[in-house]
Homo-oligomer: A and B are copies of this chain.
Amino acid sequence: MKSNDQPKMSAEQVQVFLDSDFPEANFYGKTYEILSVTTGGADVMLLSHERHLRPGGTISGPAMMALTDVAAYVGLLGSIGPVALAVTTSLTINFVRKPEPGHLIASCEIIKLGRRLAVLDVRIRSEGSDAIVAQGSVTYAIPQE
């Protein structure tokens, strides 16, 4: 996508939308902070909390799966805007390193944005690190209006 394209929603707009329409994502206090939204994807931070930890101090798989889902959704909203009701149809995740306790950043990239189907790639790293701890892909069905 051209770099001078504008996303349909800014990071702030997606954050407001997410906080109001998906209250369960932040049920126990703010959990996801949207760092950036571009036409090609988004960066979302998981504000790591004790409930995300596993024994030994690493972050749980479900916490990373939920982050993958949220990050991909944020990336999609940036490109299609808040009107469409996209539905996650599948999610695949590979856990490749145990993250240290701390915040995680998921970077998603739009692989395909079709009229009816979207596919996004998501990579999760610990804040301040380049090493990928998990890589996922998420597909959406986009209802026709």
Binding site for B on A (CB under 8 A): 21-24, 27-28, 50-55, 60-62, 65-66, 69, 87-97, 111-112, 114, 116-117, 119, 121, 123, 132, 135, 137, 139, 141
- CB contact under 8 A between A96 and B111, given known A65-B91, A90-B139: yes
Residues of B within 8 A of A117 (CB): 89, 96, 141
A106 to chain B, nearest CB (A): 13
A132 is contacted by which of B54, B61, B111 (Cβ under 8 Å)?
B111
Residues of B within 8 A of A53 (CB): 24
Q: Are A112 and B91 in contact (CB under 8 A)?
A: no
A54 is contacted by which of B24, B96, B123 (Cβ under 8 Å)?
B24
